[in-house]
Structure 1
Amino acid sequence: MILIIIEIVIVLIIVYSILGWSLFLMQSTFVYKPTQDIYYTPEELSLDFEDVVFKTKDGLLLNGWHVPADNSRFTVLFCHGNGGNIMHRLDSINFFNNMGLSCFIFDYRGYGKSQGRPTEDGTYLDAMAAYKWLVEEKNIPAENIIIFGRSLGASIAANLASKVKSRSLVIESTFTSYVDIGKKFYPYMPIRLFAKFKYRTIDYLKEVHCPVMIVHSRDDEIMPFEFALKLYQVANEPSEFIEIYGSHNDGFITSDEIYKKAWNKWLEFLKEQGAKSLGQQAS
């Protein structure tokens, strides 16, 4: 009987080790799910846009769309989520345009037409390059830039906002850290030991000193609502928390009226605040 128990324990240890090693090796495929084909553009929505190619600090060429809005005061720098590419965000681009906001959305390395392969440090470099393109090539003042990120893109956006000046940071449907996500999906694994990524959104947010709006759905089936509450607790003032409803991927659509009202209110607040709440100086 003892030998049988020992054999069972050994088998369980082997299975556990194989599972842990598999998770370690496959992390990149969980974190990054890029697609390359782009067959729809803002033109499908009758929106004028500029197809942009710009270079990162480490020499890669990235692709993005600059979609101007008539008489816009602010430009949204859009850091999208981990799946697909910029083509899959046309609904959000259209939303921002209808709100009177210009938008610059870009693909991270390895996504869409952008060169390279995605890495954590690479995504931070990509966001910085996009920001510098707006400031240096389009001559858009930092006080007119709203850094926006959804899901994984929110962590990238928070990292950027902790390093540069901007009018505001808006993060949506995101997480506190990569390790915390791992603990949620694999509570039985020593995630902290296996984790190849950090994406410490909560730490970046502590260093953001521009106005922050956090948007999250209580129904989010991927990113727990408690993540957003923890982020809100550490956000510097002024900050705003908006609760929406619906799933992780389409909550902003399901909650259309709430979402639109929240953005309208936030934009009015930013206009009233003027330029007195800028974040950190770009490095």
Structure 2
Amino acid sequence: MEVLLKVLTVGGAAYAALLGLVFVLQGHLVYFPDLGRQIVQTPKDAGLAYEAVWLTTEDGVRIEAWYIPAPAARGAALLAHGNAGNISHRVDYAPMFHRLGYSLLLFEYRGYGRSEGRPSEEGTYADARAAWRHLVAERGFPPERIVLVGESLGGAVVARLAADERPGALVLASSFVSVPELAAELYPWLPARWLARYRYDALEALGRVSSPVLIAHSRQDDIVPFRHGERLFAAVKGPKAFLELAGGHNDGFLFSREAWREALGGFLAQHLPAGAMSPAPR
């Protein structure tokens, strides 16, 4: 009996220590800025002209962004990427939006790529707001001509932005309901909901979004289960559409790129104003 008690005591202490470690270091499970700090390509490599700009957030952090203009643009897309890599890994989005007639702003989170600072939940929200202000105030795009696009963690970022502003449309690709919900599924042996210091509650934000919403998700997603996309879709109160992708979490768009472009183009044509914008002076 004494041996059993000692084993249980040591095991309990070890488990408690593990919980404490996870609580303190969970930022390393949410953000992966070091996976691809190097700039591997630019829109120029895709044959597109672009402008590198530096934005200053409301808390004084300088973040990098790339603006890729489309001729006679119908509007602009603002892309928030996932929790790994940087904007140079999202250049493939540029030709797609270019063909659809939308300029694209790829913005970098703080602590990622060449941007200043360290990533945090409130910080990523502030980064997205800085990108939004750039499109509206500096580029002259009316909110109803802007489509917010978020992949994975970026979906929660732009969902919050869409709840606070009123963009022309919101697109969530391979996004999750919230960090506590996803963590509970990925780490069932931990009290993840209780430990979570990060929320990224896309489900709550969607309840406050009035813009049309397109949800894209794959049944083969190996990180964010398909049911997350279904729950997000069910939470949308206004106009909405669902696109089922193919492939894993990080390659779903590669397996269904043409279907993705056609579905996105049809959705934007239905919900955003038709016709090209007059160029706004800067």
For this structure pair, what is the TM-score category when the shorter chain's length is used for normalisation? Answer: over 0.9
Amino acid at match of 2:208: E
Match of 1:106 in 2: 107
Between the aligned partners of 1:33 and 1:93, the Cα distance in structure 2 is 23
SS in 2 for 1:222: coil
Query: Which structure 1 residue ranges, 5 or more long, are not aligned?
Result: 275-283
SS in 1 for 2:60: coil
Match of 2:243 in 1: 242
**1:191 CA displacement:** 1.5
SS in 2 for 1:38: coil
Match of 1:280 in 2: none
Amino acid at match of 2:269: E
**TM-score (norm: length of structure 2):** 0.93
Match of 1:232 in 2: 233
Superposed CA deviations along residues 252-271 of structure 1, whole A, max 9, x for unmatched, are 11012321221122122124
**Farther-moved stretch of structure 1 (117-126 vs 31-40):** 31-40
Match of 1:46 in 2: 47
**Farther-moved stretch of structure 1 (9-18 vs 204-213):** 9-18
Q: How does 1:64-143 map to 2 (within 5 A)?
A: 64-143=65-144
Q: How does 1:1-283 map to 2 (within 5 A)?
A: 2-35=1-34, 36-271=37-272
Between the aligned partners of 2:23 and 2:243, the Cα distance in structure 1 is 35
Question: How many pairs are equivalent?
Answer: 273
Match of 2:278 in 1: none
Identity %: 38
Amino acid at match of 1:260: R
**1:234 CA displacement:** 0.8
Between the aligned partners of 1:14 and 1:94, the Cα distance in structure 2 is 54
Superposed CA deviations along residues 105-158 of structure 1, whole A, max 9, x for unmatched, are 110111112111011001001100110011001111111100110000000010
Amino acid at match of 1:19: L
SS in 2 for 1:143: helix
**Farther-moved stretch of structure 1 (265-274 vs 202-211):** 265-274
Superposed CA deviations along residues 171-193 of structure 1, whole A, max 9, x for unmatched, are 01011011011101111211122
**TM-score (norm: length of structure 1):** 0.93
Superposed CA deviations along residues 93-112 of structure 1, whole A, max 9, x for unmatched, are 22222322210011011111
SS in 2 for 1:243: strand
Superposed CA deviations along residues 5-25 of structure 1, whole A, max 9, x for unmatched, are 212211221221122122112
Between the aligned partners of 2:71 and 2:140, the Cα distance in structure 1 is 17
Between the aligned partners of 2:109 and 2:205, the Cα distance in structure 1 is 19
Amino acid at match of 2:13: I
Amino acid at match of 2:271: L
Superposed CA deviations along residues 31-73 of structure 1, whole A, max 9, x for unmatched, are 1111432242111111010101111001111110000112220
SS in 1 for 2:265: helix
Change in Cα spacing, 1:273 to 1:231, as seen in structure 2 (3 Å) is farther
Between the aligned partners of 1:74 and 1:147, the Cα distance in structure 2 is 11
Between the aligned partners of 2:114 and 2:65, the Cα distance in structure 1 is 9
Amino acid at match of 1:225: F
**Farther-moved stretch of structure 1 (42-51 vs 254-263):** 254-263
Query: Which structure 2 residue ranges, 5 or more long, are not aligned?
Result: 276-282
SS in 2 for 1:162: helix
Contact 2:77 2:149 in 1 (8 A): yes
SS in 2 for 1:63: strand
Change in Cα spacing, 1:251 to 1:17, as seen in structure 2 (3 Å) is same
User: For the aligned residues, what is the CA RMSD?
Assistant: 1.5
